Amino acid sequence: MKKCAVFNDISGFGKCSLAADLPILSACGVEAHPFPTAVLSNQTAYDSYALADISEYTNAFLTQWKRLGARFDGVLTGYFINASQVNSVIDFIKSQNSLVVVDPVMGDGGERYSGFDDELCRSIKKLCLCADVITPNETELFILTGECNVDSAAEKLLASGVSAVAVTGLESEGKIGCRVYTKQEVRAFFETKTGSYYSGTGDVFASVLTGKMLCGEDVFSAALTAVRFVSDACRLTNQDDAENGIDFEKILKVL
């Protein structure tokens, strides 16, 4: 089986991060190995949350993985808590020869998430430069590049060495989806938008994309599957419950 290391937080409510990544990768037939970057009562988009900073264990956990000779076909990353943790993960990635998908979790809706200071964002940019595919939303794309135009921001990242940029959460004429930029080609995948805001859609997108690429699909085909999956799950989710994440469990079997 293909093996994927997943660096992300575990949040009790919000059905995002590892709580979404693990079942989705498993449903894709990929062996998922969680590396918790933080433990939260609930994700940070709720009014309040409690967070356990476990970043002091990052190096000890990575040293132990090295001792075990852990090798991975894929690495997926999401939420981090500080720059030193990100730098340790960059060293780990360089020691592997794997497909690297970075979801540069930093913010949404034009705002940074709480705790994402300049130093942390700079380290996440460095992490992106080690990736095969990155999956920023518009806010994250602009933080990464300082640009405020999607096309030129994506071009800038491609020029700095990222092989593919899948920009998520783009909206146009009642539709929502992503545009995938590679040096050779740009393709867009959109579906009808339902509801307004749902927690965890970026995590669901990134884990479907990673799972499908590890199963042999190219980035365009994997992005199409991921857009359709997120859209179908949103349609099946009670909108009053949107903060609790989307009901992807109802359709896991299509993966």
* Interacting residues toward ligand PXL by CB under 6 A: 9, 11, 16-17, 40, 43-45, 78-79, 105, 113, 200, 202-203
Least distance (Å) between residue 6 CB and ligand PXL: 12
Kindly tell me which of 136 and 200 has the beta carbon lying closer to ligand PXL: 200
Looking at the DSSP bridge assignments, the partners of residue 32 are 4
Kindly tell me which of 2 and 167 has the beta carbon lying closer to ligand PXL: 167
Q: Closest Cα partner for 182 from 108, 122, 131, 110?
A: 131
The vertex-31 CA angle with 28 and 36, nearest 5°, equals 110
Kindly tell me which of 45 and 255 has the beta carbon lying closer to ligand PXL: 45
Least distance (Å) between residue 15 CB and ligand PXL: 9
Kindly tell me which of 40 and 102 has the beta carbon lying closer to ligand PXL: 40
Amino acid present at 127: L
Beta strands in 3-148 (DSSP E): 3-11, 31-40, 51-52, 74-77, 99-102, 107-108, 111-112, 133-134
Least distance (Å) between residue 103 CB and ligand PXL: 8
Kindly tell me which of 201 and 225 has the beta carbon lying closer to ligand PXL: 201
CA distance 234 to 239: 8
Residues 6 or more apart whose Cβ sits within 8 Å of residue 175: 190, 191, 192, 193
Kindly tell me which of 113 and 190 has the beta carbon lying closer to ligand PXL: 113
CA distance 129 to 193: 31
Least distance (Å) between residue 82 CB and ligand PXL: 14
Least distance (Å) between residue 45 CB and ligand PXL: 4
Kindly tell me which of 10 and 133 has the beta carbon lying closer to ligand PXL: 10
Distances (CA, A) of 15 to 10, 40, 138, 156, 241: 9, 12, 22, 32, 11
CA atoms within 13 Å, Cβ hemisphere of 235? 12
Determine how β-strand 133-134 pairs with β-strand 99-102: parallel
CA atoms within 13 Å, Cβ hemisphere of 227? 26
Least distance (Å) between residue 105 CB and ligand PXL: 5
Least distance (Å) between residue 202 CB and ligand PXL: 5
Task: For residue 2, give both structure tokens.
Answer: 């293909």
